[in-house]
């Protein structure tokens, strides 16, 4: 399980340190891709393969399914953790997520989200203000 929130700096060579406690789940390989809400998703290879399999079964006739698959699959990049626990963020993904020097790395059970610190703070302020609506909507999801 991947949980927790950490703040790091993106170095001038676009390398990002992955929290030590997350590295073991990424040791077999990882995939970095465009996420939702303006962040990046970093998946352990097994979770990525499961997600890609589900996307391959989406109906081609559905515009939203095609668009989702394009965002996730065409934007994906295999990444390796170096000996210092860092991954390289390609320019197109760095630009997509508007990553600057300060970055937030958040564990969300089966994936890691990578956010610019500024976007993360804005997202947090927005969701904090809507927490009543969010929790109310959870009953529709079976919680």
pLDDT of 127 higher than 80: no
pLDDT in tens, 66-89: 888 888 899 899 999 999 999 999
| pLDDT at residue 34 in the model | 96
Backbone torsions φ then ψ of 77, nearest 5 degrees: -145, 130
Q: Is 21 part of a structural domain of the chain?
A: yes
How much is the pLDDT for 129?
60
Distance CA 29, CA 48 (A): 10
CATH code of the domain covering residue 25:
3.40.1550.20
What is the per-residue pLDDT across 32-52, written as a single tens digit (0 to 9) for each?
999 999 999 999 999 999 999
The b-or-e profile of 93-129 (16+ CB within 10 A means b, else e) is bbebbebeeebbbbbeebbbbbbbbebbeebeeeeee
Tell me the whole-structure pTM to 2 decimals: 0.87
pLDDT for the residue numbered 23: 96
Question: What's the structural domain count of the chain?
Answer: 1
Whether residue 88 is contained in a domain is answered as yes
- pLDDT attached to residue 138: 56
Cβ contact 42:112 at 8 Å:
yes
DSSP helix/strand/coil, 29: coil
Q: Range of 111's domain?
A: 2-116
């Amino acid at each position: 399980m991947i949980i927790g929130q950490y703040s790091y700096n993106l170095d001038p060579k676009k390398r990002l340190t992955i929290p030590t406690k997350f590295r073991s789940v990424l040791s077999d390989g990882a995939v970095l891709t465009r996420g939702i809400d303006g962040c990046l998703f970093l998946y352990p290879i097994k979770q990525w393969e499961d997600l890609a399999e589900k996307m391959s079964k989406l109906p081609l006739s559905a515009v939203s399914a095609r668009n989702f698959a394009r965002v996730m699959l065409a934007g994906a990049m295999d990444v390796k953790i170096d000996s210092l626990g860092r991954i390289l963020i390609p320019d197109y993904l760095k630009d997509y997520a508007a990553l600057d020097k300060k970055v937030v790395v958040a564990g969300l059970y089966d994936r890691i989200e990578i956010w610019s610190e500024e976007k993360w703070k804005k997202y947090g302020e927005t969701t904090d203000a809507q927490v009543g609506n969010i929790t109310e909507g959870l009953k529709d999801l079976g919680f």
